[in-house]
Amino acid sequence: MGTKTVYYQVTKEPDKTDYIEEQDFDITGMEITATYSDNSISLITNYIIENGNNLEEGQTSIIISYTEDGVTKKVAQSITVTKNNNGNEDDIVDEQYGYNIKGTKITNIKNKTPISDFINNLIKEEGYEVEITKDGEKVTENYISTGMVVKITNGRGKTVEYIAIVKGDINGDGVSNVRDSLLIKAFRAEIVNPTDAEFEAADIDDDDKITNMDTKRILFHRAEVIGYDLNY
């Protein structure tokens, strides 16, 4: 009668079992074997993952399907899928350029960074589109500046938005200059109340307050004093 598949199983779990919603299942490291009626064992590679794309929050498994001699058998692989609390995919940002996602903001953007360079260097993976807007209008030239909206769209059409923060660029022109120093003085004198983005850009030393030290750091940066470079 010949040998028949008795059962098949995951004999080596995949390297990754923890996911964030909307990510896809990764088979790397996973091994599937079939055990036959004659007790022989064979490594299976031509299996199908039935529900491994665009994983949903709370999903606990993916189904692995294998068909041989017209008979289909299925087995489940346990996974954990959690909600993306920030509504974004933080790990797509290319860390080699120093960019960092901080809540709803993208920080660590250097002064005088051309928008084209920022867009080209922001994402480390393919399949994403980046668009920059200011006051609702798309911008493609000049410098990326504090307050601009960075829209990132993935291959499935989901868009998330962040606010760009350029330290020392408080007035939103992409550079740190005397106008920014004057704004800090106005904030400290309570003549003008900063927006959240302006506060973040003015708080040079990240101590959650705007002080005279922040003013000095901008002045020293403009004077090119060693140790006071805002481009970090």
Q: CA-CA distances (angstroms) from residue 46 to 2, 32, 206?
A: 21, 10, 53
Can you give the pTM of this predicted structure? 0.58
- Report whether pLDDT(63) > 70: yes
* β-bridge pairing 105-107 and 80-82: unpaired
Name the residue type at position 48.
I
- Report whether pLDDT(185) > 50: yes
- Residue 100 has a pLDDT of 81
Higher-confidence position of 59 and 1: 59
Rounded Cα gap, residues 151 and 115, in angstroms: 13
- Residue 125 has a pLDDT of 66
- Alpha-carbon dihedral sign for residues 45, 47, 53, 59: negative
- Report whether pLDDT(168) > 80: yes
Rounded Cα gap, residues 78 and 39, in angstroms: 26
Name the residue type at position 178.
V
Question: Can you tell me the mean pLDDT for 82-102?
Answer: 60
- Residue 88 has a pLDDT of 47
- Report whether pLDDT(114) > 90: yes
* β-bridge pairing 129-134 and 137-138: antiparallel
For the segment 142-153, what is each residue's pLDDT rounded down to a tens digit?
A: 999 999 999 888
What percent of the chain shows pLDDT beyond 70?
85
Tokens 């920022």 belong to 118
- Residue 197 has a pLDDT of 92
181 neighbors 175 (Cβ within 8 angstroms): no
> How buried is residue 83: exposed, middle or buried, by Cβ count under 10 Å (0-12/13-18/19+)?
exposed
Q: Tokens for 126, please give them.
A: 């393919």
- Report whether pLDDT(98) > 70: no
Question: Can you tell me the mean pLDDT for 67-94?
Answer: 74
**Domains of the chain, with CATH numbers?**
5-82 (2.60.40.3630), 90-222 (no CATH)
Rounded Cα gap, residues 215 and 178, in angstroms: 10
Average pLDDT, the chain: 84
Tell which residue, 188, 199, 79, 182, has the closest CA to residue 147. 199
DSSP state at residue 197:
H
